[in-house]
Structure 1
């Protein structure tokens, strides 16, 4: 084989290796883009989820407090009703025997209803404590989300994703040192096509 042919073969191998290297770089760039997209989505979604959970926790607490206030008002009214039943019972004893017996039976029924209603209200009051447990669980979830978010941002910084890349932006992403920009997909495709065409020619 002549020296010229050897040079051509060597050059063809060089072009082939260069094309493979360009493809490898392109695949790596796509992988970095995927990582950045995942970090950006996490940086947007975690605070949003944390904020929504905080709102839910606040809404639950407000609802529980309103329910407890309503029950307290009902208990007060129930106590007033109990006092009225006691007054009716006292008045019934002053009636003639037959009427007193009838009135006494009615006041006993009213008193039983009143007592039953108060028992139900006390049960309702006790059950509103659910918001304490739910609130504690939600706070733990919110805290966990905050920890995960911090870890993701830390990982993003470690792999070279800047904070500006994690925020929505129209600018192209840059490397961590801020000195060079990654080629766009069109540039990489053009280089690959040129190399492949030259390799085939």
Structure 2
């Protein structure tokens, strides 16, 4: 875990980051577009959105381009990734306040909506519960919270099958076979992947209602739930 988190401060990794998600996450661009659509069902045209794991700025840019009146608070523990987010946003940067840190360093809000994309699989179950609760506390009533991360059935045969499919996707996306195998090993050995039902329970326990699956990309899944 420490090695994976350290990568987000490595200059070479950060320089290449924006190339990675589209190759490593099935349906990445569509997932971002769907997230913006789900937010827009409730977030007003001049809404304020909290974005956890905002380093790199890819989702911030996608949301800002789709909804010109929205403003954002983006939170990420890596200063290097936040600097990249500023570069990625370019002329859109004035609409986003960037905060180095974790959920505790996010403004109190209340926000009209929130997202946490490709982040929760880096933390353990207890921290996921805490993050979900802290986000819930910062949202207006019935505000949407969209999450997406690694999540796969935990059966002895099902989990390896889904991870094999993910590895095959990487190879089909042009990732070198050795790198694809290393990515699968890192996911298996260093990330805490929950079963989808467990992910939904965490949202419910934090006080969210109606968690609804909207995205599945092999070993990745995404939900929208409401404060």
TM-score range, shorter chain: under 0.3
Length-normalised TM-score, structure 2: 0.20
Larger Rg: 1 or 2? Answer: 1
More helix by share: 1
More strand by share: 2
